[in-house]
Structure 1
Amino acid sequence: MAAHASRVFISHLTGVAVFDPNGDQVGRIRDVVVSLRIGGRPPRVLGLVVEVVGRRRIFLPMTRVTSVESGQVLTTGVVNMRRFEQRQTETLALAELLDRRVTETASGDEVTVLDVAMVQTRLREWEITKVFVQRGRSSRLRKNRGEALTLDWSAVTGFTLAEEGQGAANLLATFEQLRPADLASVLHHLSAKRRGEVAAALDDERLADVLEELPEDDQVEILGKLQDERAADVLEAMDPDDAADLLSELPGEEAERLLQLMEPEEAAPVRRLLSYEEDTAGGLMTTEPIVLEPDATVAEALARVRVADHKPALAAQIYVCRPPNETPTGKYLGIVHFQRLLREPPYTLVGSIVDGDLDPLLPDTPLPLVTSYLATYNMVAAPVVDEADHLLGAVTVDDVLDHLLPEDWREAALHGGEAHHSTEQESEEPGGH
């Protein structure tokens, strides 16, 4: 059914595909831009924030939207691909309205916003007319404690007031299925205040995954807003090489304080990584490759490779070493490529199919030599050993790319490349970016 005949809850638009008149997908909705108005008047919906190829976020005016149907939004005319930049008079419905605590006018009770709904008026404008809220324990109507209900926009007040400690549960629910890199894009585009609130609401594992995808400035900002104990827990949940990279951006005393709060067995590999120069194999490597003893079977190796937590580059090969199996290991014997594992019977011992012809890297190997090593041997990861042939870790191709790309590549990626600043007069369309 077309949007003008029904109410559309904003949270249901998250991730909905946007199509142009030719039926080609333009991108997916990430938020809705509204303009709050005084006197209890419903906010006007200005347009949609649409994420297009390359994670660029653009503004799509509601005047260009022809229909909002289940699972898709249709637009007309040429889409302006200039990067969206929020103006001071604009509010993002998902990012800034959800989880707010406002006041129900009739009862005076504080309620929490779970969602807001928009409808199209007879003048073909869109307005936020309904607020889906939940009464808290403080409700004076005992029978209604915890009750969720839909109110008219005019029946609540407080949306324009500054709020400290705004929750994030309902906002995160709308992005629950996003990959860490996509959720990182969401966080990057929030205000600093809202970014801290959302980060605080994420569990340690999820926040660790997201931090690894954010630019360094965002990482440092978010970590700095966490309590020290929580920050240490998040660092423990990160890959050791990513945790080391983040700690290297902090003042020495602050980094040491967090290392002291981490569990000793979690802090030890991070300390080792911090001891190497950044642009060397030691500074680039991860300390958690897949390590097996030579008497392990192919079946055991494949079981380890299948573990979902392993990144694809690390799961491409296993490292065969004498015990102990934790880095730094016993004597390094060689590697077994994933393809070789697939060709061998399950009972075959990995020690009998080791590729020992490739010389491993030393931790002080500079980045250019690491790059040429991977390119020469068509490898996605390379072993790093010390002078006594103990395996220290593995350098993966994504680690190398991370250091070969410009320092601000994550920032550029989250913005979909450099912004296009036109010398022509800016559009007068509200939100026309």
Structure 2
Amino acid sequence: MSTDRHPLDDALAEAEREGATYEVPVELVRVRARRRRRARTAARGGVALAAVGAVALALPLLPGVRDGAPTADDGEAWEAPGDLCGQRYEASSSADSPLDVTLTTTSEIGPDRIARTSTVVEYDRERVREVGSLSYEVVLLRDGVVVAVDGAGPELEHDLDLHLTQVERPPAPPGADAWTTSVYLASCASFPDGPTDVAVPAGSYELAHTEDVDWVAPDGSVHTVRVVERSPVTVTGDGQVPERSPDTCGTDASRLAALAADEDAFPVTLDANVPVTAAAGSNLRITVRATNDGPDPLEGRTGNPRIVLTRDGRVVSEPGALGERLYDATVPPGGSLTYPAWSSLEECVPLGVGRHGGVAVGDALPPGDYQVWLTLRPLFHEPDGTDESFRNEVLLVGGPWPLTLE
């Protein structure tokens, strides 16, 4: 791993000066968390790539890798973030590769408890066709022991500048690539079942950034190299713990109910033909209709609707691993648009419980009575598409609909 400073390293310093550059759109946090944790489980798979300034939600395979093509090398398995707490961090870089990878981390973490990192990859274009990040892990250490981990799992809500994506890719010369990331560091005091409102205390720590970088050879085969960087970091100020989204596993269903009943809510309603019964262990696929009930046209875009199930006053199931897509959300007054939605009808575990904090764990919901809610987060131009900027994300909630699993 090179110790020379590459000009692209300036991207991190410039971003820190910009401040809001690395604010993280909630939907992209959600996409990254689900996909990266699947990569941790299997240690292989597609490469998540995002364009600078885009809010695109589809994360395709690395260009040139198609079904039936050679797959990535098997890598070391990633542990669930909460399981790292209290452990001595032993991750190490893998053997030499044709890539020269430089990881750079911020030297200071502020009250938002967000760690910013940059990755610069240089390579010989005759030996390497394309590169990308398969997965990464950022943890906070004290005396070599993990005291804070990636907190993206609980679908955290921030005050966001929605121009910007979770992963930025500044322009790079031929034979080089670069991207930057932002990770909210959740205190290990929240794991396995502690309070989720405990922030990382101010003080001196060590930040560990481990990343698996994929590269494609001229013959189309995909390979992976692991790179680890550890550096001192200062955490400042009183920590601010973001509030969990109301459609997140384990949250109180009354928050969804309040949003659905809000007469002053944004004038778009959600409806769907939700079945009354379904087989336990099956998949639920529905079409969601979003109707503009307001007097003004709307112009924007949105990701997939989320199907959330509640029981006994708590969210007990989040959406399954449906590939996120970007949809048009431009609709005149009184007009409607439809979007597909899907749920695996699996149980989920709230943040800090077991190895799968915040994600569906694969166990089918047991038979019984549930309530189905729909949420959608469109990004609208304001007003009427006349401004190139996007307004802050709108959270739409529809429901509930009764559902009995048999």
Give the TM-score of the pair, scaled to structure 2: 0.25
**Bigger fraction of residues in helix:** 1
Instruction: Output the TM-score relative to the length of structure 1.
Output: 0.24
- Structure number with the bigger relative contact order (C-alpha 8 A, sep ≥ 6) is 2
Point out the structure with the larger strand share: 2
Larger-gyration structure (1/2): 1
